[in-house]
Amino acid sequence: MAYVIGAVFLSLTGYMFVSSVSNPFPEATIRGWVVTSTFIFVLWSPVLTMRLLAEEQKLGTLELLMTSPVKDYEVVIGKYLATLLILSGTLFPTIWYVILLFWFGSPDLWPILTSYLGLMLFGGATLAIGLLASSLTSNQVLAAVMSFGLLLLLTLTNNAALVTIGLSATILEEVSLIAHFEDFARGIVDVGNVIYYLSVIAIFVFAAIRSLESRRWR
Amino acid sequence: MANELQTMIEVEGLTKLYGDFVAIANLNFSVKKGEIVGLLGPNGSGKTTTMRILTGYMPPSEGIVKIAGYDVLSDSLSARARIGYLPETVPLYQDMEVGEYLTFMGAMRGMNNAKIKTRIDEVVDQVNIGHYLGTHIGKLSKGYKQRVGLAQAILHEPDVLILDEPTIGIDPIQVVETRQLIKAIGKDHTLLLSTHILSEVSALCERVLIIHEGKLVAEDTPENLGDKLRGGEKIQVDIHGPIAEVTTFLRNIEGVISVRQNDMGDVVRYIIDIKLGTSLLESLADLILQQGWGLRGLNSVSMSLEEIFLQLTSSDLKEEG
């Protein structure tokens, strides 16, 4: 399944890359597909993560994992790292776009590197949210719906911030997954943004561990 | 040689509550190295809960559980490393191949690659699934899935093997094969298996623990329990005749444990509990006719497990009183 998801991701970004460089005044950047691919992640991560723990619960294999001589957090973190690996595996072929840019133009390397860092952090955060959703239910579809809903909400708060003012606008903008991403695409690595994504990852992975542990007490 | 056999499973004062519901109440038992012990009880009696606590899947509410000397709470990982467990619903990844699955399970138990390889070869031979190593688990029959489950449980050469209802839901021929397999495996493992089938216990186990409503009702060898367990045979006779005389007569027949009567107007229905092995069913009709009473009906009634438990609990009470 991961292959199919990966292929879909690549064909979409490929299309966006081509359309971003085939206008009359093309820019030698990858911003064209990088910013849009965050939206693809919002759709992509729930599907990639929905199976992780939900299926284990449905098949009863969770009982096997939890009675094996491994700690609960090892199970959860192992699963999370596996999805990160799939994420980077999917991003890896996009280096071809970068090679094409260097072949036909002279792009700035730095914004490209920061974009990839941003994509990994953004993707990692969406995967962590999907992981938690998957730990809460044995129904994969429900897990996907929950994480998709939460991800959509967290990206849309950015827009809601535009129509509000003052503290609420700040809060809405600060919690937005997208708002913290834009700097990376411009070549700016803000420590605050990095910490934001790492915190989201830590919080949701920790919650998933706790959610799994709580199954023992039910 | 140690003359005292090591205790592999030790359960002391085990209690499990689900909210207000008492699933297990003060359970005590122990299993020595090399024993095959059956945990017998009707559905909902606490078998699965007990096993889940033993395997470290859920914590006990109260009490101490030790596996090979390791506490399942404070030394959980060491305890878990020494257990092979086959839950009631066989935990298989349907889209993995058998070989992949076993390799994964070996790695989960911290075995190295070389060890996994040699053990898979041995285990696959033992449960006879050699032809299916490259088959997707989802495509196997239930009996074969059960074998893969067993293979997984014995892969890491655990000290203690815990099997929850290992023959449930598979067809009769495969049940026989699975039982033979378990018996063979039991030769070199300490084994605790749960079942609600009486014959399975006498076929496999050296010792039986009977639990009912979360309490240990009886604990003995199948032979010693035999009288109680297999004595659970009943005959129902409808006789037209003087109640008191008939009752005393029936009570005095050899092999009769107890007689209850139920007046149905024209005839009286007697329910007679008899010991197994007595051929009363055949001779009873003659005996009654010799007395000159009218015999209206005679048939044997098999007892349900529930009734046997009732009998066991009530006979225990009598012994105490």
Residue A206's pLDDT is: 96
Q: What is the pLDDT of residue B292?
A: 84
Instruction: For residue range B7-56, list pLDDT tens digits in order.
Output: 899 999 999 998 888 899 999 999 998 899 999 887 788 899 999 999 99
* Range A44-63 average pLDDT: 91
Q: How confident is the model at residue B1 (pLDDT cuts 50, 70, 90)?
A: very low
d(CA B69, CA B159): 11
Return residues 98-157 of B near A (CB < 8 Å).
Answer: 105, 108-110, 152
- Structure-token match 């021929």, residue found: B173
User: Around A190, how many Cα atoms within 13 Å sit in the side-chain half-sphere?
Assistant: 12
> Distance of CA B174 to CAs A74, A80, B3, B169, Å?
37, 39, 39, 10
Question: Chain A contacts of B89, Cβ < 8 Å?
Answer: 59-60
Cβ-based contacts of A63 with chain B (< 8 Å): 52, 57, 85, 87, 91
B119 pairs with which residues across the strands? none
Query: Would you state the pLDDT for residue B313?
Result: 61
Give CA angle at A129 (A126, A135), nearest 5°: 140
Q: Which pLDDT does position B318 carry in this prediction?
A: 42
CB contact under 8 A, A63 and B57: yes
- Tens-place pLDDT, residues A92-101: 988 888 888 8
Closest Cα in chain A to B162: A67
Q: Are A90 and B108 in contact (CB under 8 A)?
A: no
- Closest CA of chain A from B320, distance in Å: 37
Instruction: Tell me: ipTM over 0.95.
Output: no
Q: Residue B321's pLDDT band (boundaries 50, 70, 90)?
A: very low
| CA dist., res. A112 & res. A123, Å (int) | 16
Which residue, B136, B59, B60, is CA-closest to B101?
B136
Residue B91, helix vs strand vs coil: coil
Span A99-135, pLDDT tens digits: 888 888 888 889 899 999 999 999 999 999 999 999 9
Tell me, yes or no, if B58 comes closer than 8 A to chain A by beta carbon: yes
Q: Give the highest mean pLDDT range of A93-97, A170-174, B103-107.
A: B103-107
A217 to chain B: nearest residue by CA?
B58
- For the ranges A138-142, A176-180, B112-116, B216-220, which has the lowest average pLDDT? B216-220
Measured between its terminal Cα atoms, the distance across chain B in Å is 44
Tokens 């005095």 sit at which residue?
Answer: B252
The residue with tokens 């209690």 is: B15
Dump the DSSP string for B197-223. -HHHHHHH-SEEEEEETTEEEEEE-HH
- Select the more confidently predicted residue: B280 or B70: B70
Q: Does B56 contact A at CB distance below 8 Å?
A: yes
Question: B294-302 and B233-240 as β-strands: parallel, antiparallel, unpaired?
Answer: antiparallel
**Residue A69 in contact with partner chain B when CB distance is under 8 A:** yes
Report residue A87 as tokens: 């994420």
CA angle, B233 then B237 then B241, to 5° = 145
Least confident of B9-18, B293-302, B303-312: B303-312
Phi, psi of B65 (to 5 degrees): -125, 125
Chain A residues in contact with B57 (beta carbon < 8 A): 63, 66-67, 216
* C-alpha to C-alpha distances, B145 to A40, B53, B106, B132, nearest whole angstrom: 39, 24, 17, 11
